[in-house]
Amino acid sequence: MFSVEILLPILVIAAFLVGFILWRSKKEERIARNAGLKLRSATMDDPLTVSASRVEPDLAAEEEKPAEALSQPEPSLPDPDQTRSPADEVPPPSEEPPIYDELEREEARRAEAAARSRTEAENLRDNRDRATPPVDPAVEWVLDIAPVDGMQFALGGVKSLKLELERLDLPLLVRVWAQSSKDSLYYEADELTCPARQVVATLLLANRTAKLDEVSASRFYQVLEQSAAQNSVVIRREFEPEQAVQRSVNLRNFIEFFDRRIEMLIAPREEGETLSADRVSKAALRTGFMYSNDRWELRLDPADRDPVIWLALVEEGESPAKVSLNYELPLANSVRGDLRKFLEVANQLAAELGAVWTDCSGRPIDAGAAMAIAEQVASQDKLMTESGVVPGSPRARLLFSR
């Protein structure tokens, strides 16, 4: 028989352990609940959730202003061979030793390498250190489920949920994130290697080619509802399926309003000449394009779903006579220098093909027209940003995907 002196410490330790286990399970439940609250409240002050309904009634009036400027045939820069003067061929002598130029170039190279290293480090950190699920409640329908009392989702259950959602074959992007029980970070379902404390499933509300409808919303919700029922929990969500469908209508109007591009034509110098598909293909590949979907696409970021710049043949009769070079305004990042890259690509392609730049009406592009293009791009960027979507941002790449 245990004496009171021995039994009392054992009872105290046991009570402490039971209290600690209960406290820890409540803490994990509170963390998961707070994560859900953050997801549901993230859109309260988002300009997009306000501007989506604000832009729609004024589309008819506002369309005249930005659309008129951006839908008209876009001009280009002058052909370098036509504007080069004899004085440009040989640079004037410099009073400074050439070594200064080389030092400046070396300094610029070092600065560029340092900036590239910082960008890669930031991207790596963003991809791995996911303390919260990288979702966007302003453009995605976010549903999350979390077990109670410290329970977890089995690894097979998370992957099964992802598989069931993929089988729906919905026309909009579906993503599944899970909070790892090991490090509490969020991973995509395919990346998860252990049980999960919380599962977050998202459905894009609209993009360039589709918007959410009642049937798709109901099917998506039912799969999540079944998964929640199997774990004896309820789905946490910011809005109901009917509200998700209504939001998709507003976002679709927003997309149609800002879905604009600049188009240039690269045409032969002499009337009646043509550009063969083989010549165009070789020039495009040398310039960095990749052939896909019956056109040549240039992705300035390998992670982009859709290209910022793309190139296609313009058929006239039996032979391709011109090349259409396009710049996607909502996907372009002007701060990164995408517009400058577009003009450089146009110049390089024209030189490779022995052609000239023109607008859609066949008028040659001069420096003034290029400045007008830059002003139009700046105007579109400002208007989109004020409406809650920064051009070239992850949100823009979701909304203006195909």
pLDDT tens for the chain, 402 residues long, are: 556 566 677 777 777 777 777 776 666 656 655 655 555 555 556 767 655 544 443 433 334 443 333 333 343 333 434 444 443 443 444 444 444 455 556 666 666 766 665 555 555 445 555 888 899 999 999 999 887 767 788 888 899 999 999 999 999 999 999 999 888 899 999 899 999 989 999 999 999 999 999 999 999 999 999 988 887 888 888 889 999 999 999 999 999 999 999 999 998 887 777 788 899 999 999 999 999 888 999 998 888 889 999 999 987 665 567 899 999 999 999 889 999 999 999 989 999 998 988 888 888 887 888 888 899 899 999 999 999 999 999 999 999 998
Ranges of H-type helices in 188-230: 214-230
Q: 312 has which bridge partners?
A: 324
Token pair, residue 278, equals 């083989």
Strand 196-204 relative to strand 261-268, pairing: unpaired
d(CA 133, CA 120): 21
The residue type found at 161 is: L
The number of residues in the chain equals 402
- Between vectors from CA 317 to CA 313 and to CA 320, what angle results, nearest 5°? 25
Q: Is 173 exposed, middle or buried (0-12, 13-18, 19+ CB in 10 A)?
A: middle
The pLDDT assigned to 244 comes to 94
The pLDDT assigned to 3 comes to 62
Q: Collapsing DSSP states into helix, strand and coil, what is residue 87?
A: helix
364 torsion bin: left (phi>0), alpha (psi -120 to 50), beta (else)? beta
User: What contacts 139, CB < 8 A, 6 or more positions away?
Assistant: 48, 204, 205, 206, 251, 395, 398, 399
* 3-class SS string, 293-343: CCEEEECCCCCCCCCCEEEEEEEECCEEEEEEEEEECCCCCCCCCHHHHHH
The pLDDT assigned to 96 comes to 43
d(CA 318, CA 322): 12
Q: Collapsing DSSP states into helix, strand and coil, what is residue 210?
A: coil
Token pair, residue 36, equals 């859900």
Across 24-59, b (16+ Cβ under 10 Å) vs e yields: eeeebbeebeebbeebbebbeebebbebbeebbeee
User: By C-alpha distance, which of 345, 347, 348, 276 is closest to 313?
Assistant: 276
Q: Could you tell me where the beta strands, DSSP code E, fall in 121-254?
A: 140-145, 174-180, 186-188, 196-204, 236-237
d(CA 138, CA 126): 20
d(CA 165, CA 190): 13
Q: Judge whether 204 and 173 are in contact, CB under 8 Å.
A: yes
The residue type found at 272 is: G
Q: Collapsing DSSP states into helix, strand and coil, what is residue 199?
A: strand
Q: How many CB atoms lie within 10 A of CB 69?
A: 16
Q: How many CB atoms lie within 10 A of CB 269?
A: 13
Token pair, residue 341, equals 């890259």
Residue with tokens 């006579």: 321
Using CA atoms, how far residue 180 sits from 43, 152, 223, in Å, is: 25, 10, 21
Q: Collapsing DSSP states into helix, strand and coil, what is residue 7?
A: helix
